Structure 1
Amino acid sequence: MDPIMLDLPSQLATERLFLRAPLLQGDGPIVNEAIRESYDELRMWLPFAQTIPAVEETEINLRKAHIKFLERESFRFLIFHKESNHFIGTASIQGIDWDIPKGEIGYWINTKYSGNGYMTEAVRELADLGMSHLQFNRMEIRCESENVKSRSIPEKLGFSLEGILRNEDLSADGKRLTDTCIYAITG
């Protein structure tokens, strides 16, 4: 089956959160505000956060993510708290290989919401979407070995640490070599 024919929900719900695909317009300001609020932490780990983007750049990025969602190339979800409707962060299924099939989960959270288990809850939902609904044979989470907060999520969710690739990538700022942890679940 051509992946474009997949019936995929544009919104998911967990106990405390709802995750929805980016809309064609209007999400840029809230996502940009979260990037600004979390800049010091995000820039340590994420290449996209080396400079604070303009709101328009964030809006363009989200519109492109929406197109990729429709084309079934990647599935980015914006995470909101159910009760307050506050934007918390993003989580995505990306790096999809439909021949295997498999995908990789990526995520970031607004710093003021970290430490509450929200991202673990969101990633659990995406792992379930990938393994159950999309029938992936493999889901990965890759993160820098020194990013303890990011590593704790796959560890809590029962992903296996399959290996650490030494000197495999550059740090987010491109100034030093880093080690990459590869976590996975398989079906």
Structure 2
Amino acid sequence: MDQSAQSTPPELIPLPCGLVLRRRSLIDDAAFNAAVLTDLDHLRTWLPWAQQAPSLEETARKRVEAGTAWESGEQFGFALTAADDPEQVLGGCGLHGRTGPGIIEIGYWIASALVGRGVAAQAAAALTRAAFDLPGIEQVEIHCDENNLRSAAVARRLGFALDRVEQNEIETPAESGRNLVWILDRAAYLAGALEGAAGGRVAGTAAGTAMG
């Protein structure tokens, strides 16, 4: 194991497109809530947590929970924002340690205005690098419904391999109930799987399993 590995990812991660990932618990509640409400119809397609409009109080509670989860190492939540304006929220991303030891799952949602511009792929690539910089992480996963062709394209573009298909309860209007589990292990990562993978546009990037 790399002895220089940090126990938490950076709180600010720049993306090639000029946007940044910022630690979620540092983002203004009203700004995050407004971003979700503005794009609720778009998010409801794939995200179970977006089936009901969150109140400002719920958003504040989730921010507190995100801060606690970050400190415990359970998960690391980010907001996607403009580089010069943390209140211009354009999406949300996270690293979730809910799968098992040594494994971390990437989740993300991207504002509808940015769909098709490669932003989701850039965010997922940045989170993958951050994940493998954490101690003990040997595998990164992306989960998406079989019908979510855009998220599958992101995983494939970044060099993730389809490992298995799991049956899930249908929770959103577009889901099939067949959950694709894409994986990238440390060996493939070190072999350069991500090199050049997210520098350009990725057709049709949108939302995958993510946090609210």
State the match for 1:32 in structure 2.
33
Which one is further off, 52-61 or 168-177?
A: 168-177
Give CA-to-partner distance per residue, 1:13-45, whole Å, 9 cap, x none.
Answer: 222221111235x52212211211221121121
State the match for 2:169 in structure 1.
170
Shift of 1:82: 2.2
Secondary structure of residue in 2 paired with 1:170: coil
What is the letter of the counterpart of residue 55 of structure 2?
Answer: A
Alignment partners' CA distance in 2, 1:185 and 1:55: 36
What is the letter of the counterpart of residue 89 of structure 1?
Answer: G
* CA spacing shift, 1:159–1:177, aligned 2, 3 Å: closer
Q: Given the alignment of the two structures, is residue 49 of structure 1 paired with residue 50 of structure 2, yes or no?
A: yes
1:17–1:122 contact (8 Å) kept in structure 2: no
* CA spacing shift, 1:12–1:169, aligned 2, 3 Å: same
State the match for 1:78 in structure 2.
79
What is the letter of the counterpart of residue 58 of structure 1?
Answer: T
State the match for 1:20 in structure 2.
22
Bigger RCO (CA 8 Å, 6+ sep): 2
Shift of 1:185: 0.2
Alignment partners' CA distance in 2, 1:97 and 1:170: 17
Shift of 1:95: 2.7
Give me the TM-score of the superposition, normalised by structure 1: 0.85
2:9–2:130 contact (8 Å) kept in structure 1: no
* CA spacing shift, 1:39–1:141, aligned 2, 3 Å: same
Shift of 1:72: 0.8
Give CA-to-partner distance per residue, 1:65-115, whole Å, 9 cap, x none.
Answer: 11100111100111113256531111100035674x110001111212221
Q: Aligned-pair RMSD on alpha carbons?
A: 2.4
* CA spacing shift, 1:98–1:48, aligned 2, 3 Å: closer
2:46–2:175 contact (8 Å) kept in structure 1: no
Give me the TM-score of the superposition, normalised by structure 2: 0.76
State the match for 1:95 in structure 2.
97
Which one is further off, 79-88 or 172-181?
A: 172-181
What is the letter of the counterpart of residue 178 of structure 2?
Answer: D
Shift of 1:134: 3.7
Which one is further off, 152-161 or 11-20?
A: 11-20
Alignment partners' CA distance in 2, 1:147 and 1:97: 21
Structure 2 runs not aligned, ≥5 long:
1-5, 187-212
Secondary structure of residue in 2 paired with 1:45: coil
* CA spacing shift, 1:176–1:18, aligned 2, 3 Å: closer
Secondary structure of residue in 2 paired with 1:23: helix
What is the letter of the counterpart of residue 181 of structure 1?
Answer: L
State the match for 1:66 in structure 2.
67
Q: Given the alignment of the two structures, is residue 149 of structure 1 paired with residue 121 of structure 2, yes or no?
A: no
State the match for 1:186 in structure 2.
185
